[in-house]
Chain A
């Protein structure tokens, strides 16, 4: 319904404008240059031009056919013979062409130029030739000088009309009349069009005014009129420029306000999304907690049964079992105990993620020393040369970092078990000075490392090192659940750091880690 009403409105306006244009063209605005030469502007063409630029070529065509471009048949017919047959239809074509071209979003003056070239060619060729069909004595080819004049007049007239229509269509008032959305053009164009209109006004006053107005009031009034006219124009110019500047500033303010609103909206959305995500995360954390609680409790209970009753059989019925039977039972027990350790490690890993993070100063050297002491107590028979750089203090969560160091040093301890002169080193260096600098980190980023001369590993499997339950050695060679480095990685990740390993089979391994991507301030 709304569309239909709008279409009716457009059709009605197109027809009215066409008729008005038809009438207006009977009163061309003449700029007199000399003698019999007139520069006349068909201002009526402005009306169909406005229609075609605002609503497209179909309405433009309607308006042009309804009279906007048809006055010239009557103006030019007497005395021109067949001439108008060639020179008048292009006006309608002009309206249609520019209406279409303006929709292509290319510069409208390019379209005007293309049309003007075509029209000029037409005027010089077909138009001049068609005069020969006229009844004598007009049956001569049009003189070239006349053709020049016509071409020039039409070019100036066309450009002027187009310019005026464009300028008017920048005005919000005109846009409202045509039900167009607010202009998105660069507001600086207002300056140009305003000043162009002023220039046009000066020309009008100087030429048209001289002929029609000043003379009416008498020659003695001419100078006063010109001075008054100039002052008036100057005022109009100042006002127009002020208005343009105002529009410009207003537009800028509107843009800023809009941008601010958009930012605020985005912010709100972002906050909402963060809240949503947090709620989701909390829910999944809760679920994980419930899950690991259940794992911790329920998964271990049957294992205790398996281990306990196997032991009970070994104790109570050992006389009825041969060695093989006893061995099987022992294996049953080993397996269930190993499963128990796996569950414990898995729980530890999941707890690391859930645990609260409390940042503080952590003395890594002291923690490492303590861990090594513990390892030495457990296996007093082993001789290991340990070198811990003193005074390594980092910012992080003490309990998490202890777990990471326990795993790294514990690994180093375990994997040097078969090395007669075992050596473990804990220290720090700058990224660039590492054996394998991390490309993602700045060169002066502090990097901690744990180095050993133990079993090492094949670099081909380096990407598997940090996955949970990934082992690069046989259980029988080096015991472990394969979860230690996954744990380390999780701790380091929670600190916002990186961890990577470097190794060579039977020559040892070095594990590097950073605790934050920030570098120390340069001093």
Chain B
């Protein structure tokens, strides 16, 4: 079995670095792939040939260039191969509409990125642990 990996969809390089840092600090040593916008994320996910090569979890930002996060989520859920792929929305927005739409479109979780780094890294660490280690995929 191939190594599990995590797909981070995030356009802001600072957030990318900080997320990776937080995951590493939490001893999650799996590969982390980064897509810098929605289109790239879809290329990676829907271009994959076999289900074994899907990521264990997608950490998805909402406000993205080209194709935005909710649209990415919609397309992931619309595709047979990625229908059950765990997707966690990790974003700055706490607008109720975003949260509701996120869950409506089938997000597995909705996490708001806190400003305070300790809280942020705590959240990311928990996410990583849960989805990479505890969660069983179909």
Residue with the greatest number of chain A CB neighbours at <10 A, chosen from B15, B62, B114, B116: B116
Is B117 a contact of A304 with CB atoms below 8 Å? yes
CB-nearest residue of chain A to B98:
A293
A298→B118 CA distance, assembly (Å): 20
Docked complex: B110-131 residues within 8 A CB-CB of A: 113-118, 120-121
Chain A contacts of B92 at CB under 8 A? 296-298, 300-301, 304
A301→B61 CA distance, assembly (Å): 11
A394 interface contact, C-beta 8 A: no
Interchain nearest-CB distance for B91 vs A (Å): 7
Docked complex: A176-191 residues within 8 A CB-CB of B: none
B53 interface contact, C-beta 8 A: no
B18 interface contact, C-beta 8 A: yes
Which of B63, B116, B121 contacts A337, CB < 8 Å?
A: B116
B21 interface contact, C-beta 8 A: yes
Interface string of A295-320 (1 = CB under 8 A from B): 01110111111011111100000000
B43 interface contact, C-beta 8 A: no
Is A340 a contact of B95 with CB atoms below 8 Å? no
Residue with the greatest number of chain B CB neighbours at <10 A, chosen from A297, A302, A340: A297
A336 interface contact, C-beta 8 A: yes
A434→B123 CA distance, assembly (Å): 48
Assess A305 versus B118: contact at CB under 8 Å? Given A297-B62, A297-B93, A347-B94. Answer: no
Is B115 a contact of A297 with CB atoms below 8 Å? no
A310→B118 CA distance, assembly (Å): 11
Is A304 a contact of B18 with CB atoms below 8 Å? yes
Chain B contacts of A298 at CB under 8 A? 63, 92
Which of B17, B18, B115, B121 contacts A300, CB < 8 Å?
A: B115
Is A297 a contact of B15 with CB atoms below 8 Å? no
Residue with the greatest number of chain B CB neighbours at <10 A, chosen from A300, A339, A344: A300
Chain A contacts of B113 at CB under 8 A? 300, 304
Chain B contacts of A344 at CB under 8 A? 94
Count of chain B residues near A, Cβ 8 A: 21
Interchain nearest-CB distance for A251 vs B (Å): 61
CB-nearest residue of chain A to B25:
A315
A292→B92 CA distance, assembly (Å): 12
Assess A296 versus B94: contact at CB under 8 Å? Given A303-B115, A307-B115, A308-B117. Answer: yes
Residue with the greatest number of chain B CB neighbours at <10 A, chosen from A312, A333, A336: A312
A239→B95 CA distance, assembly (Å): 80
Chain B contacts of A312 at CB under 8 A? 18, 21, 117
Is B116 a contact of A293 with CB atoms below 8 Å? no
CB-nearest residue of chain B to A300:
B92
Chain A contacts of B115 at CB under 8 A? 300, 303-304, 307, 336-337, 339-340
Is A307 a contact of B116 with CB atoms below 8 Å? yes
Interchain nearest-CB distance for B31 vs A (Å): 21
A297→B61 CA distance, assembly (Å): 10
Is B18 a contact of A301 with CB atoms below 8 Å? no
B136 interface contact, C-beta 8 A: no
Interchain nearest-CB distance for B18 vs A (Å): 4
Is A311 a contact of B118 with CB atoms below 8 Å? yes
B3 interface contact, C-beta 8 A: no
Which of A293, A304, A336, A340 contacts B14, CB < 8 Å?
A: A304
A339→B12 CA distance, assembly (Å): 19
Interface string of B87-104 (1 = CB under 8 A from A): 000011111000000000
Chain B contacts of A309 at CB under 8 A? 14, 17-18
A311→B120 CA distance, assembly (Å): 11
Which of A296, A307, A333, A339 contacts B93, CB < 8 Å?
A: A296
Is A305 a contact of B116 with CB atoms below 8 Å? no
Assess A297 versus B91: contact at CB under 8 Å? Given A304-B15, A305-B15. Answer: yes
Chain A contacts of B14 at CB under 8 A? 301-302, 304-305, 308-309
Chain B contacts of A297 at CB under 8 A? 62-63, 91-93
Interchain nearest-CB distance for B17 vs A (Å): 8
Is B18 a contact of A308 with CB atoms below 8 Å? yes
Which of A296, A308, A339, A347 contacts B120, CB < 8 Å?
A: A308
Which of A296, A301, A337 contacts B15, CB < 8 Å?
A: A301
A303→B14 CA distance, assembly (Å): 10
Interchain nearest-CB distance for B34 vs A (Å): 16
Chain B contacts of A339 at CB under 8 A? 115
Docked complex: A479-498 residues within 8 A CB-CB of B: none
CB-nearest residue of chain A to B18:
A308
Interchain nearest-CB distance for A351 vs B (Å): 8
Q: List 12 A-B contacts (CB under 8 A).
A: A293-B93, A296-B94, A300-B113, A302-B14, A304-B15, A304-B115, A307-B117, A308-B14, A309-B17, A312-B18, A312-B117, A337-B116
Q: Which residues of A contact B (CB under 8 A)?
A: 292-293, 296-298, 300-305, 307-312, 333, 336-337, 339-340, 344, 347
Q: Which residues of B contact A (CB under 8 A)?
A: 12, 14-15, 17-18, 21, 62-63, 91-95, 113-118, 120-121
**The 4 residue pairs across chains A and B that have the minimum distance between CB atoms:** A340-B115, A305-B14, A308-B18, A311-B117
* Beyond A298-B63, A301-B15, A303-B115, 7 additional pairs, beta carbon < 8 A: A300-B113, A301-B14, A301-B92, A304-B18, A308-B117, A311-B117, A333-B116
